[in-house]
Amino acid sequence: MSTSDVDLAVDLGPLRLRNPVVTASGCFASGREMARFFDLSRLGAVVTKSVTLEPRIGLPPPRMAETASGMLNAIGLQNPGVDAWVEHDLPWLAAQDVPVVASIAGRTIDEYGLLAKRLRDVPGIAALEVNISCPNVEDRGIVFACRTGATGDAIAAVTSTVDLPVFAKLTPDVTDIAGIAAAAVDAGATGVSLINTLLGMAIDVEARRPKLAAGTGGLSGPAVKPVAIRAVHQVHRALGQVPIIGIGGARTAEDVIEFVMAGASAVAIGTATFADPCAIPGAVDGLADWLAHHDEPSLAGLRGVVGSPAAGARLGEDTHEA
Amino acid sequence: MTATVERDASAPVVTTGTLVARRPAGGYHVLTVAAPDVVDAAVPGQFVSVEVGARGTLLRRPFAIAGVDRAAGLLDLVIAVVGRGSGWLVARPVSTTVALTGPLGTGFAVPGAPTRCLLVGGGYGVAALVWLAGRLVGAGHAVELLSGARSAAALYPVPPQEDALALHEVTEDGSRGRTGLVTDVLVDRLADTDDAIGGEGGRRRAGGRGAMVFACGPMPMLAAVAWVAAARGRPCQVAVEEHMGCSVGVCMTCVVPAGRGYVRACIDGPVLDATRVDWAQVEGGGR
């Protein structure tokens, strides 16, 4: 089979993407920066950096620490605010022949509703990703995605306001992510985005202080991929055909395939872009090669094909049921 | 893996280069890399990010471009070993292929009319200024290079230059050159408004136009240089140094306080007008 015979298109709820590879929120700035390196129409979709109601200057540096096969970040949602984003960044992005998934983040349930209202009639937005799981907030109590009730309230504030597809971005730092995902879907979410970064910390032992000015930060990169694969697998098994954007440590075409086999409909690449600006087009090219080489006509046909663990190795299933 | 894109000649490229030579330079390492598509548009102050293979590392490392040979498609990087990434890179044998992206960021803006230029560098930050100095001298400007470090061992060894470049070396411990801080020399040179460069009736006489300051080095030094320049009303450009994540403007790691928020060192800088930076908010930069 040749690469021209394979079909990379996937359905993400009502959205049809030309390929499953999208940007991870917070890893693509305005889009112009990366357009210096490749044509954005090569992407399945652009998921934008989270915007908030008001501009945020973000946290003080140092904001990043490289860790073993990963990195911690504590940016603090630096963004120009939703109004400036709609005025200055979205029009350019919307003209790039790529679906735009707008990420929004609020401090309160009301703010999610207000953000949804602000974006409701703005042209050029294909879907919303509702970031209810940013770990870099002062009060862990307002990480909505840590509780089913708050998850449902935040998502309902958005889904009751817009007709756009809505994806709830969730954190793996919970006991039962499938339960949180179910709460999001019950509140009207089209699908879920799994996973946000894991809350982590690194210490400079010479200086005897945290490497990040904020103390803690979000862990991303290859180090978290198994956690993300597990989360996608659990939620896919629990919720069946609910669309899932798989996120966490993907870099190569094989990583994308792994996420799809776990149950992802689309796969975001984030931290890998920091390491190689052309990671995403590289993975897209590699996907066609992989499918052709394996005589698989369609990527979508691979979704969730991973079977049950081999007999005698059912531990993951048992812990989920416990 | 490079993507085929239409681009303007000054845009950075994701490419590979070949290590063609390496040599020690004082306490630093000079790597010469063949990367013709990066070299074409590069100007002093810009940098490249280089993939490193050290175990467990993830991110590319940014290095200022210390000079180019356009005809041969070569660029020089001056590297101080500060961690696993830089340690891995300086240990690569000649002919190693390295993945790199560049040229990145903004370079120094060069004056149009003949100008007295004071270039102030700390440690290996001087390397990029040597390249800038060569360009400024070639364009007919009067150039002085002020090179400082804690000690002789940390001083960047400036290669022999044509006479038109005046070199002032200064160390904190007095182990080479004048004893003190490089900003002490800057204060003196700015006070010398009669323009001593060029000699009697020299053609490089440009003092009447006032001096411009260009600086590259650690942030506390840049803060001090910016303060001295501002106190004397002299324009000043600084190449800021911040830890970087992506090096291409998307991760928001390498931010520098400016105005009411932050600017990114990797794409808004590294060369910034010194008056843009809120030095009081820079660690070690408050006075």
The answer to whether the Cβ–Cβ distance between B267 and A281 falls below 8 Å is no
Give me the CATH number covering residue A251: 3.20.20.70
Identify the CATH number of the domain defined by range B13-104: 2.40.30.10
Q: Whole-angstrom Cα distance, residue B205 to residue A79?
A: 48
For residue B253, give the nearest of B237, B261, B264 by alpha carbon: B264
User: Inter-chain contact B260–A57, Cβ cutoff 8 Å?
Assistant: yes
pLDDT recorded at residue A309: 61
Between strands B116-122 and B211-216, the pairing is: parallel
Which secondary-structure segment (H or E) carries B183?
helix B182-191
Residue B204 carries which DSSP code? T
Catalytic residues of A, which ones? Answer: 134
A5 pLDDT band, cuts 50/70/90, is confident
Q: Which of B59, B255, B267 sits opposite A274 (nearest CB)?
A: B59
> Which residue's structure tokens are 């013709």?
B36
CA distance A182 to A188: 10
Report residue B236 as tokens. Answer: 């000043």
pLDDT per position as a tens digit, B152-173: 999 999 988 767 789 999 999 9
Q: Is the confidence metric ipTM above 0.95 for this complex?
A: no
Q: How confident is the model at residue B193 (pLDDT cuts 50, 70, 90)?
A: low
Is the Cβ–Cβ distance between A255 and A286 less than 8 Å? Answer: no
Give B-chain residues touching A54 at CB under 8 angstroms.
none
Which of A154-168, A234-248, A298-312 shows the lowest mean pLDDT across its residues? A298-312
With CB atoms and an 8 Å threshold, state whether B1 touches A57: no
Sorted by sequence, the CB contacts under 8 Å of residue A90 that are 6+ apart come out as A100, A102, A122, A124, A125
Partner residue facing B58 (CB), from A38, A55, A71:
A71
The alpha carbon of residue A275 is apart from the nearest alpha carbon of chain B, in Å, by 5
Average pLDDT over residues B203-208: 44
Q: Which domain holds residue A59?
A: 3-321
How many residues can be counted in chain A?
322
Q: Which chain B residues are Cβ-neighbours of A47 within 8 angstroms?
A: none
Pairwise CA distance, residues A3 & A285, whole Å? 9
SS3 content of chain A, % helix, strand, coil (to 5): 40, 20, 40
B265 pLDDT tier (thresholds 50, 70, 90): very high
How far off is chain B from A247, nearest CA to CA, in Å?
A: 16
At residue A118, the 3 state secondary structure works out as helix
Cross-chain CB nearest to A69 (options B1, B58, B99): B58
**What residues are paired with B255 via a beta bridge?**
B264
Which of B60, B255, B44, B36 lies closest to B145 in space, CA to CA? Answer: B44
Model confidence pLDDT, tens digit, residues A82-111: 999 999 999 999 999 999 999 999 999 999
Q: How far is CA B41 from the centre of its chain?
A: 16
Question: Region A174-182: what's the mean pLDDT?
Answer: 96
Tokens of A291: 């499918």
* pLDDT value, residue A119: 98
Instruction: Note the pLDDT tens digit of each residue in A15-43.
Output: 999 999 999 999 999 999 999 999 999 99
Question: B17-32, pLDDT tens digit by residue?
Answer: 999 999 999 999 999 9
CA B153 from chain centre, in angstroms, equals: 19
User: Would you call the peptide bond into A80 cis, given omega within 30 degrees of 0 as the criterion?
Assistant: no
Region B44-53 average pLDDT = 96
Q: Least CA distance to B245: which residue of chain A?
A: A274
- pLDDT tens for each residue of A113-141: 999 999 999 999 999 999 999 877 666 66
Query: Residue A282 in 3-state DSSP?
Result: helix
Tell whether the model's pLDDT for residue B197 goes beyond 50.
Answer: no
pLDDT at B4 over 60: no
Distance in Å, alpha carbon of A210 to nearest chain B alpha carbon: 15
Dig out the tokens for B124 from the structure: 């290996």
Burial class for A95, CB neighbours closer than 10 Å (0-12, 13-18, 19+): exposed
Are A78 and B243 an interchain contact pair (Cβ–Cβ within 8 Å)?
no
Average pLDDT value for chain A: 93
Q: Higher confidence at residue B8 or residue A173? A: A173
- The predicted structure's pLDDT at residue A138: 61
Count: domains in chain A: 1
| Percent of chain A scoring above 70 in pLDDT | 93
Question: Which residue does chain A place closest to B10, by CA atoms?
Answer: A36
Q: Where are the domains of chain B?
A: 13-104, 116-281
A-B contacts at Cβ under 8 angstroms: 106
Distance, in Å, from the CA atom of A61 to the CA atom of A218, rounded to the nearest integer, reads: 15
In angstroms, the CA A268 to CA A243 distance is 13
Residue B203 confidence (pLDDT): 42
Mean pLDDT of A300-304: 94
Determine the pLDDT at residue A319.
47
Sign of the torsion formed by the C-alpha atoms of B162, B167, B171 and B177: positive
Q: How many C-beta neighbours within 10 Å does residue B156 have?
A: 27
Q: Residue A25 and residue A103: Cα distance in Å, rounded?
A: 7
Q: How far apart are CA B33 and CA B74, in angstroms?
A: 6
Report pLDDT for B8.
54
Out of A33, A58, A64, closest to residue B245 by CB: A64
**pLDDT > 90? residue A262:** yes
> What are the residues whose beta carbons fall under 8 Å from the beta carbon of B173, sequence distance 6 or more?
B150, B151, B179
User: Which amino acid is it at A320?
Assistant: H
Position A141 scores a pLDDT of: 61
Q: Do B248 and A33 touch (CB under 8 A)?
A: yes
Length, in residues, of chain B: 287
What predicted TM-score, i.e. pTM, was given to this entire model?
0.91
Per CB distance under 8 Å, which residues of B are interface residues toward A? 1-3, 5, 7, 11-14, 51, 56-60, 99, 101, 242-243, 245-246, 248-255, 260-262, 267, 281, 283
Torsions phi, psi for A152 (to 5 deg):
-60, -45
**What spatial distance separates the first Cα and last Cα of chain A, rounded to whole Å?**
44
CATH of domain B116-281: 3.40.50.80
Q: Do the Cβ atoms of A281 and B1 come within 8 Å?
A: yes
> What was the pLDDT predicted at B163?
72
Q: pLDDT band at A308, cuts 50/70/90?
A: low
Residue B42 near residue B76 (C-beta atoms within 8 A): no
Regarding beta strands B61-69 and B74-79, do their DSSP bridges make them parallel or antiparallel, or are they unpaired? antiparallel
- The one-letter amino acid code at A189 reads A
Q: Are strands B255-258 and B261-264 parallel, antiparallel or unpaired?
A: antiparallel
Cα distance between the two ends of chain B: 47
Closest to B126 measured CA to CA, from B67, B48, B175, B185: B67
Q: Which residue has the higher pLDDT, A281 or A318?
A: A281
Q: How far apart are CA A213 and CA B257, in angstroms?
A: 14
Task: Band the pLDDT of B1: cuts 50, 70, 90.
Answer: very low
Do the Cβ atoms of B3 and A42 come within 8 Å?
yes
Shortest Cα–Cα distance, A219 to chain B (Å)? 13
Phi and psi dihedrals of B250, rounded to 5? -110, -15
Give the per-residue pLDDT at A29.
94
A84 three-class SS: helix
Q: What chain A residue is nearest to B258 in terms of C-alpha separation?
A: A57
Q: Specify the amino acid at residue A92.
A: W
Q: Residue A203's beta-bridge partner residues?
A: A210
Shortest Cα distance from B259 to chain A (angstroms)? 11
